[in-house]
């Protein structure tokens, strides 16, 4: 499964004589797949066993039994010895507890080498495990095997490796035997390991090499095949900054892809919703059109009836009677200074003639007619009055009906 480790299968790489590709299924049993020329040949998320040349182990007895403070105490000792380097992200050190005795605890720090191999830097690494922790180690022994054409050695205390390093020689020469003897002596003097029971050689080693070690160190040597890998119960937190950066870039890329996918989903949902809304609106419009067509005869009949009522409104509405109009107009006459001379109604149009003592009085009379509620069924207009030599004014006020006019 791209982007995450499969739940049912773990892909595992380790370096012995060559790179080996293994898988672990649900029952945690390893299955050998094939040998590789390069770790980058695997295109799945994987666990990589770090060769001993990539790490430094630092065992120490600490005067505490509180596991919470052990990483900090080891961290201070590593900084004091200059074994920690500043990195931009990731984790350069990992800590494990081997044994607790009285008020002391034997703990081991595993530190990444400053120069991490380029061939092991790729995005598909799920985590790194120090190679010594991926072997089923024999109890209280000096274990030697080959990794990437180098000799790796681990010294165990019980079943736990307390020291792991690579030898200077690529073969078990007298120089390598002397170096191994110094390693054992140093660990025993610091009480970091118990008295060793023997030496185990994993892989292809000659009888002469085994006998040379036995004579030099004084321990019985056993030759055996390299055992299948075993995933440690405690997962390592080692992570080079280069791989940490690749993981951050992948997570950022996944977030962008997820965001784009959600936007695409929202866009599709919006388009589907818009299409559904348009179809629903078309259906409603079609239903309304159908209802309008069904009501069309009734509406036409009502409109025809209303038109006929408008045509006879002059005959049946008392407000349009000439006498009523004359009565409403005469009610607006002032006590003096203005009189009506004629009132005509032609095709519904009302024409009022009169004379006033002054022109302003005529204009005021016209405004009173416009403002009277009972006369607002007409649109009233008055042309400019005609002035006589004596100052009086003849005026004409016209009212056009707002309803249909008839003959």
Q: What is the CATH number of domain 54-239?
A: 3.30.420.40
User: CA-CA distance, 165 to 217, in Å (whole number)?
Assistant: 18
Residue with tokens 């040349």: 53
Cα–Cα dist 57/166, whole Å? 11
What distance in Å separates the CA atoms of residue 95 and residue 111, rounded to the nearest whole number? 9
Domain covering 316-401, topology: Gyrase A; domain 2 (3.30.1360)
What CA–CA distance (Å, rounded) separates 203 from 189? 29
Please measure the distance between the N-terminal and C-terminal CA atoms of the chain and give it in whole angstroms.
Answer: 93
pLDDT of the residue at 85: 66
Give dist(CA 110, CA 133) in Å, integer: 11
Structure confidence at residue 262 (pLDDT)? 93
Question: How many Å apart are CA 127 and CA 239, to the nearest integer?
Answer: 7
The predicted structure's pLDDT at residue 315: 65
pLDDT attached to residue 2? 42
Residue 119 in contact with residue 84, Cβ under 8 Å?
no
Whether the CB-CB separation of 191 and 61 falls below 8 Å is answered with yes
- The Cα–Cα gap between 400 and 390 comes to 32
The angle subtended at Cα 381 by Cα 375 and Cα 386, nearest 5°, is: 125
CB 128 within 8 A of CB 90: no
Query: What is residue 102's predicted lDDT score, i.e. its pLDDT?
Result: 86
Per-residue pLDDT of the chain (407 residues; tens, 9 = 90+): 444 444 568 888 898 878 889 998 876 788 999 988 888 888 888 899 989 888 888 898 888 888 888 888 888 888 887 777 665 555 678 888 888 888 889 999 998 888 888 888 888 888 899 999 999 999 999 999 998 888 999 999 999 999 999 988 888 888 888 888 898 898 888 888 888 899 999 988 889 888 888 888 888 999 999 999 988 888 888 888 888 888 888 889 889 999 999 999 999 999 999 999 999 999 999 999 988 888 888 888 888 887 777 766 666 677 778 888 888 888 888 988 899 999 988 877 899 999 998 889 889 999 999 999 888 888 999 998 988 888 889 999 999 988 655 44
How many Cβ atoms are within 10 Å of 291's Cβ, its own excluded?
Answer: 10
Helix 207-217 × helix 174-189 angle, to 10°: 40
How many CA atoms are closer than 13 Å to the CA of 124, on its beta-carbon side? 16
pLDDT value for 87: 56
CB 233 within 8 A of CB 134: no
Please give the Cα distance from 271 to 71 (Å, whole number).
56
């Amino acid at each position: 499964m791209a982007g995450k480790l499969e739940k049912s299968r773990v892909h595992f790489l380790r370096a012995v004589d060559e790179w080996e590709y293994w898988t672990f299924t649900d029952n945690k049993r390893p299955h050998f797949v094939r040998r590789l020329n390069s770790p980058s040949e695997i295109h799945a998320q994987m666990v990589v066993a770090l060769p001993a040349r990539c790490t430094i182990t630092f065992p120490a007895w600490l005067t505490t039994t509180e596991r919470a403070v052990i990483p900090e105490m080891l961290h201070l000792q590593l900084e004091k010895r200059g074994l920690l380097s500043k990195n931009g992200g990731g984790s350069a050190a990992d800590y494990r507890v081997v044994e607790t005795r009285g008020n002391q605890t034997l703990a081991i720090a595993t530190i990444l080498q400053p120069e991490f191999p380029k061939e092991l830097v790729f995005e598909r690494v799920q985590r790194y495990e120090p190679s010594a922790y991926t072997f089923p180690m024999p109890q209280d022994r000096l274990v030697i095997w080959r990794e990437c054409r180098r000799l790796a050695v681990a010294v165990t205390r019980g079943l736990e490796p307390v020291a792991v390093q690579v030898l200077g020689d690529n073969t078990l020469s007298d120089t390598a035997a002397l170096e191994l003897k110094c390693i054992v002596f140093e660990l025993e003097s610091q009480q970091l390991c118990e008295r060793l029971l023997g030496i185990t050689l994993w892989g292809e080693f000659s009888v002469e090499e085994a006998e040379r070690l036995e004579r030099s160190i004084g321990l019985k040597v056993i030759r055996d095949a390299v055992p299948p890998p075993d995933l440690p119960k405690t997962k390592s937190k080692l992570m080079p900054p280069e791989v940490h950066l690749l993981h951050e870039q992948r997570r950022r890329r996944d977030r962008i892809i997820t965001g784009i996918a959600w936007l695409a989903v929202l866009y599709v949902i919006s388009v589907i919703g818009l299409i559904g809304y348009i179809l629903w609106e078309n259906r409603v419009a079609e239903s309304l059109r159908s209802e309008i067509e069904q009501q069309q005869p009734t509406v036409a009949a009502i409109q025809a009836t209303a038109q006929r009522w408008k045509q006879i409104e002059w005959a049946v509405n008392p407000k349009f009677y000439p006498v009523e109009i004359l009565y409403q107009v005469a009610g607006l006459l002032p006590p003096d200074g203005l009189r009506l001379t004629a009132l005509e109604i032609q095709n519904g149009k009302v024409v009022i003639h009169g004379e006033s003592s002054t022109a302003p009085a005529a204009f005021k009379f016209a405004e009173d007619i416009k403002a009277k509620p009972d006369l607002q069924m007409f649109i009233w207009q008055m042309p400019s009055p005609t002035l006589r030599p004596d100052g009086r004014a003849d005026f004409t006020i016209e009212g056009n009906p707002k309803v249909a006019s008839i003959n």
